[in-house]
Chain A
Amino acid sequence: MAEDSFMRFLAAWALVHETADEGWKAAVVRGEDQQPGAMQAGPEAFVDGLSAMVAEEKERLKAALAAGDMEPPGSKADLESKLDDLLFEVSELRGRLESMQATLDATLAADDGSETG
């Protein structure tokens, strides 16, 4: 009896999965057929459009995974992004220092001018 219930639970789960999958595929097809601007026709049209956008993103993700482009946090890409940020901050600091140096030069020149004058 318990085995029957368990099998029935799994069957229900498979049914939910199958129905959801069919619904999802149908929504993607409808979304892909939409004309620009059709997403605002109502909630169903919005879900269809969103499904098509998600499916498109999924294909990109699959392609990226197949090409080995996806790397976990702390990976080379993550490190490069952090290095970029750091490089920008250092460059920005250099810019500030250069501007301060110009102001310092100007102050010293003015000071020299007043002494010689």
Chain B
Amino acid sequence: MSRRGRVIVRTFTRRWAAGAPAARFGFAPRSARRAAFAAATRMALEDLGPAFVKLGQVASVRPDLVPPEYVFEFEQLQERVPPSPTAQIEAVITRELGHPLSVLYADFDREPVAAASIAQVHRATLARDVRPVIGEVMPAGTPVAVKVVRPGAAKTIEADLAEARRLLARLDRLGLSRRIDAPALLEEFAGSLSSELDLRNEGRVSDRFAYDFRDDPLVMTPRIAWTHSARSVLTMEFVEGWRLTEIDDAARAGVDAFRLALHGAEVFMRQVLVLGRYHADLHPANLFVTPDSRICYLDFGIVGTTEPAERVHIAQVLAATVYGDADRALCYSAKLGLVVPDHKQREVRQRVGELMGRTLNVPGKPADIKGFATGFLAIMADARVPIPAGYGLLVKALVTVEGVARAIYPEIDITQSAKPFATRLIAAQMARPDRLAERLPTALRAAIRELTA
């Protein structure tokens, strides 16, 4: 085993051993046991650095491959990455854009405003006017955020990835990696890595999001300066505002937190149920509240998509869930690929119904989407029902939206914004001429029978 391999094994062993008392050495109830080991695993990933943090972040949006306790633990992963030296960053910009910094930017802050495993961000100002794809021209002097891929980021991550593959192959031979489908995660990670390393992908998705929400005065995304962007450099408008952790300051400055929280949930419903593209990596670091009371969306690293036929089924599942109808929720979930075998239908339906009662329909309390999602995924795992990747991503995204909305306004119930969207979509589907032609005669006969009885 290589030196790095030994470090990886030692780190996991140490963290899991430290987590054993919290899991009462394996005698705690199953969910508490899993939660304790999930926390220990999260800390081990943080200790091991960028590649493992990134891997954990990929796992945190895949409830179809990873148990729910790990999914919700991994979303708390923090990167502790020292910034790359500015001279190296400047060299990347010059190499990628063909001009020295002084030609591209009037000012360039040498201290980064953010540093993550793949890229770091510096504040600068434009040296000349730039016309973005969406919105007004950015005149010379406009403050911008310059995101630059760290030199050597790909190589470091790929080396760790290769080591992780070797270790997993050993674990597989020993039969120790049953709970988490780690090989599938690693392959997906390798695929998403090349997409994330090309920052133009993020810029394009951001432009598309800005276009989709051009009629919404409460939503914004930074304008992209394409003349100052290439594969490893993305220059975008610098947005001033408050992070969600600073929401109290925003409220003191007069921002209407409740309105924004509700609107944030509506924006998500519109993305999923109407537009068919949604921001699936919506953690608090990717959102700002601006001084003019708008929500600014950043970092479109993971984007989910929904097809028109799927959207109607999703609306049905959402409506059934918020109205507490387990039968209907499972029936339409099956149309989305989550199929409960016949012999388990009764038990699963009963457990889901009870869970809905406990988490979503408690009188006087807002719906607890996260509680419902965790329980729902655990029921499916117990029943050994595979969860389709798109379904899992959507469940996770919905939980994240609830978390974000509650960070803005703690008492919010996001199901209140799901209802109008779901109802409208279902009504539109029912009003389709072919469906009306199919159902109207039966409905009329039933109505006449009722009236003449």
Contacts and interface: CB of A to CB of B under 8 A. Distances in A.
Contacts of A99: 200, 226-227, 229-230
A40 interface: yes
Interface stretch (B40-48, B70-78, B306-314, B419-427): B419-427
Contacts of B134: 88, 91
A83 B447 CA distance: 46
A106 B96 contact: yes
A20 B175 CA distance: 66
B224 A105 contact: no
Contact of A105 (B97, B132, B211, B427): B97
A102 B97 contact: yes
B98 interface: yes
**How many B residues are at the interface, by size bracket?**
35 or more
A26 interface: no
Of the candidates A16, A98, A108, the one having the most CB atoms from chain B within 10 angstroms of its own CB is A98
Interface string B354-387: 0000000100000000000000000000000000
A79 B351 CA distance: 51
A40 B322 contact: yes
A19 B98 CA distance: 76
A103 interface: yes
Contact of A109 (B98, B200, B452): B98
B133 A94 contact: yes
Interface string A92-117: 10111011011111111110000000
A73 interface: no
A73 B228 CA distance: 40
**How many A residues are at the interface, by size bracket?**
20 to 34
Contacts of A46: 323
A39 B94 CA distance: 60
A37 B363 CA distance: 10
A88 B211 contact: yes
A53 interface: yes
A63 interface: no
Nearest to B204: A92
Nearest to B319: A46
A16 B447 contact: yes
A56 to B, nearest CB: 11
B98 A106 contact: yes
A101 B324 contact: no
B14 interface: no
A109 B94 CA distance: 10
B207 A92 contact: yes
B146 to A, nearest CB: 13
5 contacts: A16-B448, A40-B324, A91-B133, A95-B133, A107-B98
Closest 6 CB pairs of A and B: A106-B98, A105-B98, A95-B226, A109-B98, A98-B226, A91-B133
